[in-house]
Structure 1
Amino acid sequence: MAIDQDMEACENKLQGKITEPLLQNGANGTSKSTKEDLWMVYFSTFVAVCGAFEFGSCIGFSSPTQAAITEDLDLSIAEYALFGSILTFGAMIGAITSGVIADSIGRKGAMRVSDAFCVAGWLAIYFAKGPVSLDIGRLSMGYGMGVFSYVVPVFISEIAPKNLRGGLTTANQLLICSGVSLSFIIGTVLSWRTLALTGLIPCFILLLGLFFIPESPRWLEKRGRHEEFVAALQKLRGKDADISKEAAEIKEYIETLENLPKATMLDLFQRRYLCSVMIGFGLMVAQQFGGINGVCFYTSQTFESAGFSGNIGTITYGILQVIVTALGALLMDRAGRRPLLLISASGMVLGCILTGTSFYLKAHELASTVSPLLAVAGILVYIGFFSIGMGGTPWVIMSEIFPINIKGVAGSLATLVNWFGAWAVSYTFNFLMSWSSYGTFYLYAAINVLGVLFIALFIPETKGRTLEQIQAAINSS
C-alpha cells in the first residue's frame, strides 16, 4: 500500500513538467554574464568531450580493422570475437567504479584515470603480437570508456549554466558519434597499428587540457573546499559575473544533503529517491533495449542481408548520425528534453517497422525491387531519430536528476545498466536475426512503443532549471 502511494506521488510529480521546486527560481548565475564571460565553460566542455571522442574512437576501432588484424596475427573468428566483445565487459567494470572514483578524487581526477587506462590500452594493441595483448588492451580501453561514459556528462552538467546545460551535455553524444565515424573513415586508409596510435591524440589533448580547467564547483563544495568552490564558479561564470545567488543555492542544497546519511546502494530505493532512480534506470533500459547496438554493430551486415551495398549504407549511416546528433544538441535547450525523447522514440518505432517490413517482403519473395530501398529507409530513419533524442538525452537527464549525495552510486548503476543492455542487445542480435529477421525488428518496434509510453508517463521536463531545483522537486519526500 505504501509503495502504491509512493508511486502515485511520483506520477503526480512527473506528469509533463516540474511545477513546484523547493528552491527559488532566481539563481541562474548568469544574469550579468555575457557569452564572452563564459569562454571557460565552453573550453572546459571542449576538454571534457575529448573523453567522449576517445570513447567513440574505441568503439569504432574494431569494425574497419577486423580483416587486417585477423590476417596479421592469425586470429580465429572466436579470438577476434572475444577481442571485439571484451570492450563491453571492461566498460561494465568501469561503470561500477566510476561513481566512487568521481566522488573520491573529483571529476577531473576520474577523467585522468580513464585517460590513463585508454592510453595503456592503445599501446598494448599497437605492440600486440598475439591475442592476449590485444585482449588486455581492449579490456583496458573498455574500462576507460565505462568511466568516461559517466563522468563526462556529469562534469559538463555541473559546470554549465542552466540555459546551456542541455546543449553542452549533448555534445558528449555528438563527439562519441564523431569518434566512431572518423575511425570508420580513416580506418579504411590506415593500418590497424597506425589507427591505434591515432586513438592516443584525444587522450593527450584531454590530459593537457585538464591542467587549465577548473574542477566541478559542486564537487568542491561537497568536499568542503569552499574557497576553491567560489573561485571555480567565478572562473566559469566570468570575472565580472554576480555568482552570489547561484553559490548560495548550491551551498544550501549541498548542506541539506550532507545532513543525510552517506548513500549506499540500498538507499536508492528509499522513497525520496524512487522517482530519480526510476527515471534514470528506465531511460537507460529504453535507450539500449530498443535495439541500437544491434543495428550499430552490424550495420553493414544488415544492409547486405537486405540486398543493399554495405559500404554505401554504412558511410551514409555515419554521416547522418553526426549531422542529426548535432541538430539534437542545438535543439536540446530550445525544444526541451521531453519533446525530443518522444519524437525520437516514436521515429525509432517507425524505423523498426519499415526495416522489419523490408525483411518480411524479402523472406516471402515479394516486391524484390522495393525491399532493399525500404531497408535503407528504415535503418536511416531509425538512426536519424535515435540520434536526435534517445542517443544523448538520457545521459543529459541522468546527469541532472540524481542529488549529489547519491550521484556516485546511482550514476554508476545507471551506467552499468546501460552497458549491460549494450552487451545483451549486441550479443543476441545475430541469434534473433537467425530466428527471424523481420521478427527481430518488429520486436524492437514493440520495445520502443513501451519506451514512448514510459517517456510520456514519467519523464519530466528539466529544461531551464538549475540542478538543485530539478533534484529538489523530483526527490522531495
Structure 2
Amino acid sequence: MSFREESDDGRGGDLRKPFLHTGSWYRMGSRQSSMMGSSQAIRDSSISVVACVMIVALGPIQFGFTGGYSSPTQDAIIKDLHLTVSEFSLFGSLSNVGAMVGAICSGQIADYIGRKGSLMIAAIPNIIGWLAISFAKDSSFLYMGRLLEGFGVGIISYTVPVYIAEIAPHNMRGGLGSVNQLSVTIGIMLAYLLGLFCNWRVLAVLGILPCLALIPGLFFIPESPRWLAKMGMTEDFEASLQVLRGFDTDISLEVNEIKRSVASTSRRTAIRFGDLKQKRYWFPLMIGIGLLVLQQLSGVNGVLFYNTSIFQSAGISSSSIATFAVGAIQVVATAVATWLVDRTGRRLLLIISSSGMTISLLLVAVSFFIKDNVSSDSSIHSIFSIMSVVGVVLMIISFSLGMGPIPWIIMSEILPVKIKGLAGSVATLANWFVAWAITMSAPLLLSWSGGGTFTFYTIMCAFAVFFVTIWVPETKGKTLEEIQFSFR
C-alpha cells in the first residue's frame, strides 16, 4: 500500500512528521501538524533520490578539492613560506592524518546522529581549515588547516557512499554510488583548473564554497530510511522511504525487507570487536578493507597530489596545463564508469580497471628506467618522456573506470547493518592510513627513483586483479538486505 492510500484511509497522518523540516539534520521531525495541514503538502515537498544525491555530492567535491589543492600550489607555497620539499610533503600528507582521525569517528557519528548530522559536522572543520590555510603566515597555520580539512574529509568519505547506498533503489545503486567518486574527480579538476589562474591563498578561499552550499542543502533532504529503521523510528522510516520512492509507489515489499533485516538487531546492542570473528562479519569487512587498501597502494594519491612534479620530471614544459587535462580526463572516465556500473557489474569493471592500471604503470616504470639512463638530449629520452605521460594518463583512466568509485560502493553495500558503524570506520581508517603513507612517501620516492616507485605500484595493482577475481562478490541488482544475507 502506498503512502497516498494510507493517508486516504485516515491512518497515515503521523507519517507527515519527518518532512516538516524537509528532513532537518538533527532529527527528521518532531510533530508539528500545524505546519502541515494535509498529505498534499507533504507530496509537494517530496525530493527525488537523484536530488538528494546531488546535494550530498557537494561533500565529495570538497574531498576532491582538498586532494587536488597541493599539486598546482606546490611551487608557490614553498616559495612564499620558505618550505623545504619535505615540509611540503608533510603538508600534503597531513590531510590524510586528519582523515584517519575523522575515519575513526565517522561510523560512530553517522550511527549516533544520522548520516546528515555527520555531514553537517564534517562541513564545519573543512571551512575553518581552508580559512587557516588562506591566512597562513608560516607552516603552523598551514598544517593546522590541512589537518582540519582532513578530519572533515575522513567523515565525508565514509558517510556519503553509505547514505547514497541506503537511499538508492537497488537497480540504480551502482550508478548513483559512483556519483561519489565522480564528484571527487570534479573537485580535483576544479582545483587544477582554478590553480592555473588563482594564487594559493585565493584558491584556499574558493575551497570553502562546496561546504557552504552543502550545509543549507542538508535541511532539504530526508534522512536515510535504513538508519531510521535501525534506530526504531518506524513511522519516520516509512515516510522517508515513501518520499524517496515517490508517493504513488507501493513500498510495502521494501519496508518488510528492511524491517526483517533489522528485526534481530537492537539499536542498544553494543557491537564488540569480538563479534567480528563471525564469518558473516569478518568476510565482508576483509573485502571492504582489501579493496580500499589496494585502491591506495596503486599509488593514485601520489600521482594526483604531485602529478605536476611528475610531468616536470618527464620533461613536459606546460606541466600545469597537463595536470588539468588529466583531471578533466578523470572526470570523463568516472562518468563512463557511473553509466556502466549497473550494466556490466562491479567485479568486471574492477578486473578491467586493475588490469589496465597494471599495464599502464608498467609502461611508466619502464619509461622512467630507460630515460634515466640515457642522455637528456637524445631522442630516446624524449620518446620515453612522452611514454611516461601516456602511461600516467592511461593509469588515471583505468583507475576511474573501477578502482576509484567501486571500492566505496562495495564497502557501503556489503557491511551488515549491525557492524556498519564500527566496520565502516575500520575500513575507512585503513584506506586513509595507506593514503597517508603513499602521499608522504611519493615525492621522496620519486626523487630517489621514478622507475622503482612505479614498479612497486605495478605489483600492487597486479595483486588487486588477483584479489578481486578470488574474493570480491558481485552485488549488481541485489538489495542491501540480500547482499548482507548472502554472507550468513
Q: Flag whether TM exceeds 0.5 (same fold).
A: yes
Q: Does residue 447 in structure 1 map to residue 460 in structure 2?
A: yes
| Equivalent residue, structure 1, for 2:392 | 379
| Equivalent residue, structure 2, for 1:244 | 252
1:204-215 map, 5 Å: 204-215=212-223
- In the alignment of these two chains, the number of paired residues is 440
Distance 1:311 1:259 in 2: 51
| Equivalent residue, structure 2, for 1:428 | 441
Distance 2:208 2:197 in 1: 18
Which of the numbers 337, 342, 362 marks the counterpart of 2:371?
A: 362
| Equivalent residue, structure 1, for 2:74 | 66
* Secondary structure at 1:258 match in 2: coil
Per-residue deviation, 1:275 = 1.5
Q: Is the 8 A contact 2:92 2:440 kept in 1?
A: no
| Equivalent residue, structure 2, for 1:19 | none
* Secondary structure at 2:220 match in 1: coil
Per-residue deviation, 1:149 = 0.4
Distance 1:78 1:294 in 2: 14
Which of the numbers 266, 276, 286 marks the counterpart of 1:258?
A: 266
Per-residue deviation, 1:446 = 1.6
Q: Does residue 328 in structure 1 map to residue 337 in structure 2?
A: yes
TM-score (structure 2 length as normaliser): 0.86
| Equivalent residue, structure 2, for 1:191 | 199
Per-residue deviation, 1:271 = 2.3
Which of the numbers 348, 356, 375 marks the counterpart of 1:339?
A: 348
Which of the numbers 119, 140, 162 marks the counterpart of 1:154?
A: 162
| Equivalent residue, structure 2, for 1:107 | 115
Identity of aligned residues (%): 47
Per-residue deviation, 1:67 = 3.5
Q: Cα deviations across residues 92-114 of structure 1 (Å, max 9, x unaligned)?
A: 10001100000000000000000
| Equivalent residue, structure 2, for 1:395 | 408
Distance 1:128 1:294 in 2: 24
Q: Cα deviations across residues 318-361 of structure 1 (Å, max 9, x unaligned)?
A: 11111101110111111110000000000001101111111122
Q: Does residue 311 in structure 1 map to residue 320 in structure 2?
A: yes
Taking a change above 3 Å as real, the CA distance of residues 426 and 76 of structure 1, as seen in their structure-2 partners, is closer
Distance 1:259 1:123 in 2: 39
Partner letter of residue 356 of structure 1?
A
Distance 2:452 2:143 in 1: 34
Q: Cα deviations across residues 373-419 of structure 1 (Å, max 9, x unaligned)?
A: 21122111111100110001000000000011100011111001101
Distance 1:126 1:294 in 2: 24
Distance 1:397 1:369 in 2: 41
Partner letter of residue 458 of structure 1?
W
Q: Does residue 87 in structure 1 map to residue 98 in structure 2?
A: no
Partner letter of residue 416 of structure 2?
P
| Equivalent residue, structure 2, for 1:182 | 190
Q: Does residue 299 in structure 1 map to residue 284 in structure 2?
A: no
Taking a change above 3 Å as real, the CA distance of residues 354 and 72 of structure 1, as seen in their structure-2 partners, is closer
Q: Does residue 467 in structure 1 map to residue 480 in structure 2?
A: yes
Q: Cα deviations across residues 415-436 of structure 1 (Å, max 9, x unaligned)?
A: 0110111111222223433443
Distance 2:363 2:213 in 1: 42
Higher alpha-carbon deviation: 266-275 or 459-468: 266-275
Per-residue deviation, 1:447 = 1.6
| Equivalent residue, structure 1, for 2:40 | none
Q: Is the 8 A contact 1:107 1:155 kept in 2?
A: yes
Taking a change above 3 Å as real, the CA distance of residues 138 and 473 of structure 1, as seen in their structure-2 partners, is same
Taking a change above 3 Å as real, the CA distance of residues 129 and 49 of structure 1, as seen in their structure-2 partners, is same
Q: Is the 8 A contact 1:37 1:238 kept in 2?
A: no
* Secondary structure at 1:211 match in 2: helix
* Secondary structure at 1:241 match in 2: coil
Taking a change above 3 Å as real, the CA distance of residues 286 and 80 of structure 1, as seen in their structure-2 partners, is closer
Partner letter of residue 242 of structure 1?
D
| Equivalent residue, structure 2, for 1:46 | 54
| Residue segments in structure 1 that go unaligned for 5+ positions in a row | 1-35
TM-score (structure 1 length as normaliser): 0.88
* Secondary structure at 1:288 match in 2: helix
Distance 1:127 1:109 in 2: 29
Which of the numbers 117, 124, 127 marks the counterpart of 1:116?
A: 124
CA RMSD of aligned residues (A): 2.0
Distance 2:333 2:46 in 1: 26
Distance 2:70 2:369 in 1: 30
| Equivalent residue, structure 2, for 1:351 | 360
Q: Is the 8 A contact 2:64 2:188 kept in 1?
A: yes
